[in-house]
Amino acid sequence: MTVSQNNNPAHRAAQVTESGGPVRISVVQPREPGPGEVRLDVKASGICAADAGMAANPKPAYGFPITPGHEVAGVVAEVGEGVAGWEAGQRAGVGWFGGSCGHCTACRSGDLVHCAERRIPGLSYAGGWATTITVPADALIRIPDGLSYEEAAPLGCAGVTTFNALRHSGAEPGDRVAVLGIGGLGHFALQFAAAMGFETVAIGRGEDKRQTALDLGAHHYLDGSAEDAGKALRAMGGAQLILSTASSSKPLDGLIDGLTAHGRLTVVGFDGEPLQLPLDKLVMHARHVTGHITGSPVDTEQAMRFALATGVRPQVQTVPLEQAAEALKTQQAGQARFRMVLTTDR
């Protein structure tokens, strides 16, 4: 037995129907939630760099068609058996974290996002580039009043990733923190870093990005195409944290010089290439290199509340769901400013 608000059968999804095929709009039937599941009517869904890989997956775990999308905001439409705390009409979303097993060591330790059987919308089951999505109830995020659906969606992945990476870095208010890259992740990171009280340094490529970085909250801007950013950071006294949000790992070996003793390089954006770092510069100065990914639904809710309290907001370009293919190309070309978000209202 499910509790339903709006069970409209005429739902749509942006899908890839065959290996190597294009993204096309299809009419889909909503999947009724089973025990422990909830179905959302999707209002907005962000486009992340990882979605391109999902769309190109030749062997999707749940088969074809592929429906990407793991930055989802909408309204609870149906609640499955055994689900407590959720009812039709509530504002809710789902991010990169799309459910956990509940019984592995990570889950039993409270580290849900590193569950050995972690599920991801668009990868483990049909994602949010659609007007409907059915997800495990434990993956749901409560969206507070004051955030639009278009603003809430990117916080489920890019937002919570940078928020958690900063607050768990060991850096304290007043410390110098550098952010490499001013894109979908970086524009969140700069805002969060400034709002957390860090002396924030933006590192980009090109003088044309300076004003944008300062508008996002950076106190300083370093043009990595015109100067050695690692040396410039060292001349400033060094950074306690360098948060790399850029898709390229090439600049990181030089940036190590910009860390203080015991400083930390945290990578949240990457291109899959091997990381080449001079080990002597790590060992001699007790520096750390770490990676970071996403957060739990509770983490995301905290990121949303923090964003509301401090004025942090994603800068998004909204396009109708029917233009998903074009929006994905815009994102892949690095032309989004700064997050593409699909909307379902016609």
Question: Dihedral, CA atoms, 151, 155, 156, 162, nearest 10 degrees?
Answer: 160
Of 203, 191, 200, 196, the C-alpha closest to 230 is: 203
3-state secondary structure of 51: helix
Structure-token match 């390089």, residue found? 265
Residue 321 lies inside a defined structural domain of this protein: yes
| Distance (Å, whole) CA 209 – CA 320 | 28
Each of the 346 residues of the chain gets a pLDDT tens digit; together they read: 344 445 565 899 999 999 999 999 999 999 999 999 999 999 999 999 999 999 999 999 999 999 999 999 999 999 999 999 999 999 999 999 999 999 999 999 999 999 999 999 999 999 999 999 999 999 999 999 999 999 999 999 999 999 999 999 999 999 999 999 999 999 999 999 999 999 999 999 999 999 999 999 999 999 999 999 999 999 999 999 999 999 888 889 999 999 999 999 999 998 878 888 889 999 999 999 999 999 999 999 999 999 999 999 999 999 999 999 999 999 999 899 999 999 998 7
Task: Tell me, yes or no, whether 215 and 90 share the same domain.
Answer: no
| Distance (Å, whole) CA 28 – CA 42 | 13
| Distance (Å, whole) CA 239 – CA 262 | 10
CATH number for 260: 3.40.50.720
Task: Tell me, yes or no, whether 50 and 129 share the same domain.
Answer: yes
In this prediction, residue 272 carries a pLDDT of 76
Burial 51-76 (b: 16+ CB within 10 A, else e): beebbeeeebeeeebbbbbbbbbbbb
Question: Dihedral, CA atoms, 58, 61, 66, 71, nearest 10 degrees?
Answer: -120
Task: Tell me, yes or no, whether 8 and 105 share the same domain.
Answer: yes
Task: Tell me, yes or no, whether 86 and 127 share the same domain.
Answer: yes
Residue 79 lies inside a defined structural domain of this protein: yes
- Measured in residues, the chain has a length of 346
In this prediction, residue 171 carries a pLDDT of 98
User: What radius of gyration do the chain's Cα atoms show?
Assistant: 20
Task: Tell me, yes or no, whether 236 and 327 share the same domain.
Answer: no
Task: Tell me, yes or no, whether 233 and 315 share the same domain.
Answer: no
Query: Is beta strand 37-47 parallel, antiparallel or unpaired with respect to 72-79?
Result: antiparallel
Task: Tell me, yes or no, whether 335 and 212 share the same domain.
Answer: no
Residue 42 lies inside a defined structural domain of this protein: yes
Domain boundary among 249, 273, 291: 291
Task: Tell me, yes or no, whether 91 and 137 share the same domain.
Answer: yes
Task: Tell me, yes or no, whether 303 and 209 share the same domain.
Answer: no
CATH number for 76: 3.90.180.10
Residues facing 26 on adjacent strands: 13
Structure-token match 């059987």, residue found? 117
Residue 163 lies inside a defined structural domain of this protein: no
Count: domains in the chain? 2
Residue 164 lies inside a defined structural domain of this protein: no
Task: Tell me, yes or no, whether 212 and 135 share the same domain.
Answer: no
Task: Tell me, yes or no, whether 187 and 44 share the same domain.
Answer: no
Range of the domain at 117: 3-158+295-343
Task: Tell me, yes or no, whether 304 and 240 share the same domain.
Answer: no
Of 115, 41, 131, 146, the C-alpha closest to 297 is: 115
